[in-house]
């Protein structure tokens, strides 16, 4: 289908309440296209590369490769939203376990925030109120989840199985944050190179 036909079909499916079933990632694709359009119009090369990377990760699943995280945080699927916090899009958990968000947190006095997994309060405030975060500084525009090193994730007690938390290495001796041994991020859906907006950004 052309983009025009796809939009017309989406309107019809929305009317009949079938959009989520027949085109389950339509809303996320619109967000990814908007990210790319903004970057093409006003962004630097770095912002454009970041937008391309983020548009490839519209929906993803995250979890530890070994039993380490609690059920609330293991194998959680996140979908990109149209919210932007600290210059980076917000991914929201699409499961019914509660309100979890992946966003770029920036505490006071730090210019390059880290991507965190936290609750609604931390996301609304845009600060590092987290249960899990990646220690990599992401610069001014944030990062795509798949760009973050898998060996740089850390977690607090709430997100960690009790025996693993007790035995895990602390990032600071005596602290309450531990290294997650191995994190995996699996892309479920993202914009393909053939999407007109992605093709324009790549050009």
89-99 pLDDT, tens per residue? Answer: 999 997 655 68
Q: How far apart are CA 77 and CA 81, in angstroms?
A: 13
Pairing relationship of beta strands 59-64 and 76-85 according to DSSP bridges: antiparallel
Give the least confident one: 92-96, 138-142, 152-156, 176-180.
92-96
pLDDT reading at 72 higher than 80: yes
166 DSSP β-pair partners: none
pLDDT digits (tens, 9 = 90+) for 98-128: 689 999 988 765 656 899 999 888 888 888 7
The domain in which residue 51 lies consists of 3-202
Q: How far apart are CA 28 and CA 117, in angstroms?
A: 19
Q: How many domains does the chain have?
A: 1
117 DSSP β-pair partners: 102, 132
Q: Is 178 helix (H, G, I), strand (E, B) or coil?
A: strand
Q: What is the pTM of this model?
A: 0.89
């Amino acid at each position: 289908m052309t983009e025009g036909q796809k939009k017309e079909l989406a309107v019809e499916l929305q009317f009949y309440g079938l959009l989520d079933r027949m085109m389950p990632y339509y809303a996320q694709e619109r967000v990814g296209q908007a990210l790319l359009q903004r970057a093409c119009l006003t962004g630097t090369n770095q912002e454009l590369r970041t937008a391309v990377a983020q548009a490839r990760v519209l929906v993803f699943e995250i979890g530890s490769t070994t039993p380490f995280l609690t059920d609330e945080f293991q194998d959680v699927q996140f979908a990109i939203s149209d919210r932007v916090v600290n210059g980076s899009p917000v991914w929201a958990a699409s499961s019914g376990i509660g309100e979890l968000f992946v966003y770029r947190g920036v505490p006071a006095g730090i210019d390059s925030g880290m991507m965190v997994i936290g609750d609604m309060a931390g996301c609304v405030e845009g600060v590092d109120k987290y249960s899990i975060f990646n220690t990599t500084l992401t610069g001014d525009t944030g990062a795509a989840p798949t760009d973050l090193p898998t060996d740089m994730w850390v977690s607090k007690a709430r997100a960690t199985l009790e025996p693993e938390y007790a035995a895990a290495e602390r990032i600071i001796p005596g602290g309450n944050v531990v290294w997650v041994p191995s994190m995996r991020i699996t892309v479920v859906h993202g914009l393909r190179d053939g999407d007109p907006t992605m093709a324009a950004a790549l050009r």
